[in-house]
Amino acid sequence: MTADDAGLSVRPPTLLRAIDPSTLTPRVEVGGTALEVVPNGDGTWRAVYAFTPNGAVEEEEVVVTWSGAAAPDAQPLQLARFTTRLPLAEANTTVRVLSDDYTTLGPGFDEDSDGFSNLNELNAETDPFDANSYPDDERRPDADVSIPWISPTDAPVIDGLYDAIWDRARYSNIDNLMTDLGGALYADGTAPYRWGAFHDDIYLYLFVLFDDVELGHRFGDSSTPWNDDNLNIHLDGNFSRGRFYDGIDDEQIMIRMVRSSGAGEGASLEYSELSAERAVIDWAVCLCMNGVDTWEVAIDLASAGIPIGGRPFGIDIQIDQDVDGGDRDAKWGWFHPSGSDTTWENPSRMGVGVLE
Q: What is the pLDDT of residues 236-279, one digit of tens each?
A: 998 878 788 888 889 999 998 865 433 444 578 899 999 988 89
Is residue 180 scored above 90 in pLDDT?
yes
CA 67 and chain centroid, separation: 22
What integer is the mean pLDDT of 27-47?
84
Asked if 150 and 200 touch (Cβ cutoff 8 Å), the reply is yes
Beta pairing partners, 26 = 66
Q: Could you tell me which residue, 157 or 215, shows the higher pLDDT?
A: 157
Asked if 89 and 54 touch (Cβ cutoff 8 Å), the reply is yes
Could you give the count of Cα atoms lying within 13 Å of 336 in the half-sphere of its Cβ? 26
What integer is the mean pLDDT of 172-198?
94
How far is 250 from 243, CA to CA, in rounded Å? 11
Q: Report CA torsion sign: 122, 127, 128, 133.
A: negative
CB atoms within 10 A of CB 146: 13
Apex CA 119: angle with CA 116 and CA 123, to 5°?
100
Confidence of residue 232 (pLDDT cuts 50, 70, 90): very high
How far is 146 from 159, CA to CA, in rounded Å? 25
Q: What is the pLDDT of residues 291-312, one digit of tens each?
A: 788 999 999 999 999 988 778 8
pTM: 0.61
pLDDT value of residue 139: 45
Residue 301: enclosing H or E segment and its boundaries? helix 301-304
pLDDT value of residue 331: 96
pLDDT value of residue 317: 98
Asked if 205 and 275 touch (Cβ cutoff 8 Å), the reply is no
Which of 58-72, 85-99, 122-136 bottoms out in mean pLDDT, i.e. has the lowest? 85-99
Which of 59-68, 163-172, 271-280 bottoms out in mean pLDDT, i.e. has the lowest? 59-68
Q: Could you tell me which residue, 130 or 105, shows the higher pLDDT?
A: 130
Confidence of residue 86 (pLDDT cuts 50, 70, 90): confident
